Amino acid sequence: MSVDDFSDLRQGVAAVRSRGGVLVYDAHRARMLFVPAGKGGSKVRRWLSAQGVTADVPVPPVSSRLAQVFMVPPQYVPDAGLKTTPEARFTCSACGISCRTLNLGPLFPADVDRLLALDWSGTGYDPRRFFCDYDGNEIDDERLASRRELFLRRENDGCEFLRADNLCDVHARFGMAAKPYMCRAFPALLRASPTGIIVGMRLGECMRAEAALKGPEVSANPTEIRALWGEIPIVPFLPPLVWLAEGSLVTWDEYESLERALLGEPAGSGGPGSHHGAGIALLLRFADAIARRAGAPLPPPCPPEKLALLRAWALELDGQRGSLPIAHASAAGLDERAHSLEERIARLQLFNKDAFQHSTLLSGVSQLAVAAWLARERTLFHAGRDGAAVAGSGHLNEAVKEQTLAPLRERLRELRLDPVAVASGIMQI
C-alpha cells in the first residue's frame, strides 16, 4: 500500500491527503491517524491493520465523543482554499467590552515571545507580571518558560493593556502586529475542513454586532487571513465523516449539501417554527432536516414546565436568584433590525460549523436553537426593563452576548434535558 492507495479501509474510516501526508479518520473510535508523506508499502499496510482501520478488520462499536472538531498538526490539513460567506463582515467600534469579558488566552508561545521581546523600558509595565494562569493566579518561572496555558493578566476587570479610552496600549505603542493572535484575529473564526479553510465569524461575542456588520467582509484580505492561519500551531479540523445523529454517518460532501440547501434560502424565509423569528426558525429547520436525513427517532418534546425552568434560569443570570424576576413585563417582540440581526447570527453559527462542538450535528444544532430561544427570552426581558414595547437590536445584542457566556451545556446536564427534546418543545410553543 502506498500513500496514494487508501481505498482498502473499513466502514467508518476515511482518508484525506495533504502536503504533509495522509490523515486517516476513524469515526467509530473518534480518532485521527497520520501517515507522513513518502511513507507507504507493506509496513504502512500492517500498521494500519494493527490500528483497526483496514477492510479486513471488523467494524468496532462506536466510542463516545464530546465533539467533532479535532486538533491536528497544520501540515496534515488539506489546503483547498478559503471558504467564505458575505455574512461575515466586521469593523471594530473600539468599545473595549470584549477585552473585559472574554478569556484573555490561552496565548500561543509566539505571542508570549513577541510581548517579552518588546522594549517596555520607561512604560511603567513590568513584563514579569504580564502573564497568569486561567484563574488569574501568578505563575512561576518554570511555567513561564514552558509557555504552557498562559493568559494575560486582568486589571480593573479588563485586559491589563486596555486603556481608559478603550484602545489597546500594545497596539498604540508597538503596532497591530505586536498584539497576541487572539486580539488580531477576533472575531474571525478559522477552522479547516476536507474542502477548505472555513473563514467564519464569532458575531455573538461582539457587543457592537450591528455596527460591526457594516464593515468589510472578513475575507476581503485573503493574504491577512492566510497569515493568521499560518500562526496557529495546531489547527481545528472538521472530519471527512460526520455523525448527523447516533448511528447516522455521512460524508463531508453530504453534510455540506444539507448546509448549502438551508443557507441558500433567502433571508427571512418561513417554514416550521417561523413564528419564533427567522433566526430561531432557521436553526429549528436545520435540526429537523438533519433528523429526517438521519432517520433518527426523536425523543418526546420537552414538557412546558421544563422549558419554564430553563427560561427562569436564563433570566436569573441577571443576578436575581431564587425566583423568576417579574418586576416588569417583557416586550411583545423584536423590531425589524433585531429580527435581521438574530438571523445573521444564526446563519454565521451554522457557517462557522459551531454545531461540530457537540457529539452529533443534531445535538449541536438543537443546542444552538435552544441558546437562540433563551437569548430571545432575555432580549424581551431587557426591552421590558427599559420600558420598550418591542425589543431593538441593542437589546438582542446584549442578550446574545450574555447567553454566549452562559454555561448552557452544563445547565442542560443538571436538569437532565436533551437539547433535541428541548428544541422539539420550543417548536411547539
- Dump pLDDT digits (tens) for 310-345: 999 998 754 444 344 445 678 889 999 999 999 999
pLDDT value of residue 329: 75
**Which are the contacts of 124, defined by CB distance < 8 A and separation ≥ 6?**
none
Going by C-alpha positions, the residue among 184, 191, 181 that lies closest to residue 350 is 191
**Cα–Cα distance list, 394 to 87, 200, 311, 373, 375 (Å):** 19, 22, 20, 17, 12
Strand partners of residue 139: none
Q: Give 334's DSSP letter.
A: B
Cell of 36: 507522513
What end-to-end distance do the CA atoms of the chain give, in Å? 56
pLDDT value of residue 41: 80
Interaxial angle between packed helices 252-263 and 278-294, expressed in degrees from 0 to 180 and rounded to the nearest 10: 150
With a cut of 70, list the residues of the chain below it in pLDDT.
1-5, 269-276, 317-328
**Rounded CA gap, 404 and 67, in Å?**
18
pLDDT value of residue 276: 67
**Per-residue pLDDT tens over the stretch 390-404:** 999 999 999 999 999
> How many CB atoms neighbour CB 266 within 10 A?
5
Structural domain boundaries of the chain? 1-64, 98-236, 241-427
Cell of 254: 453530504
Going by C-alpha positions, the residue among 207, 159, 165, 162 that lies closest to residue 187 is 207
**Rounded CA gap, 15 and 251, in Å?**
11
Q: Which helix (H) or strand (E) holds 66?
A: none
**Rounded CA gap, 241 and 360, in Å?**
11
Q: Are 167 and 176 in contact (CB under 8 A)?
A: no
Length of the chain: 429
pLDDT value of residue 102: 86
What does the radius of gyration of the chain's CA atoms come to, in whole angstroms? Answer: 23
**Cα–Cα distance list, 65 to 31, 68, 334 (Å):** 10, 8, 38
